[in-house]
Amino acid sequence: MRMNKRPILIGIIGGTGSGKSTVARSIFESLPEKNIAIIQQDSYYKDQSHLTYEERVKTNYDNPLAFDSELLKKHLRELLQNNSIEKPIYDFEQHNRKKEKELIHPKDIIILEGIMILDDCELRQLLDIKIFVDTDADVRIIRRIVRDIRERGRTLESVIDQYLTTVRPAHLQFVEPNKKYADIIIPEGGYNQVAIDIMVAKIKSIIEEKRENR
């Protein structure tokens, strides 16, 4: 049975390749009811259908302006009001949104995962819990290389060039400084099981408190 009150919105933040997805998956697998929706900020890159493929490739995707933040905040508010949304689906090989959308139903717990979600003041205010996954830069770049080549059809040269020209500068400007807004900082790239267990225990206590107050 779903709760009638406002869902819990958890933000998981960290640099590219930090282990955000690992933390989100660990939280999901540790909660018995699995009444969780996970949303990636990357799904909300702006639609670029008006641009050619060559122009889309040149877009700086490591800047807050690359995201459709207004649509993301609108969708989160809808979910927090227990309404369903049609989430965009992003094609990383084509550098553009797909025509299809994914129907997301409201859940008791909503996890928002992304690199820039603490940079937006309105978005920060929507979050009940803000988790920063802190990982060394050398580990993050290796993970990004592996991911982008295997899953996003990129070449080694293109990944390294993008990292040096946009990813690293954006991390220093938009990601690292916003660590100060986090409620919890998880080191060791998302593999700190003690920190994750503490986080899960806190979420469970919030769920129980909500049930008792229904």
pTM for the model stands at 0.84
Q: State yes or no: 190 annotated in a binding site.
A: no
Q: State yes or no: 21 annotated in a binding site.
A: yes
Q: State yes or no: 16 annotated in a binding site.
A: yes
* Stretch 108-112: mean pLDDT: 91
In the chain, the domains with their CATH numbers are 8-185 (3.40.50.300)
Q: State yes or no: 18 annotated in a binding site.
A: yes
Q: State yes or no: 87 annotated in a binding site.
A: no
Task: Give per-residue pLDDT as tens, 18-66.
Answer: 888 888 888 888 876 668 899 999 999 999 999 999 999 888 888 899 9
Q: State yes or no: 189 annotated in a binding site.
A: no
Q: State yes or no: 14 annotated in a binding site.
A: yes
Say if residue 14 is exposed, middle or buried (CB neighbours under 10 Å; 0-12, 13-18, 19+).
buried
Q: State yes or no: 114 annotated in a binding site.
A: no
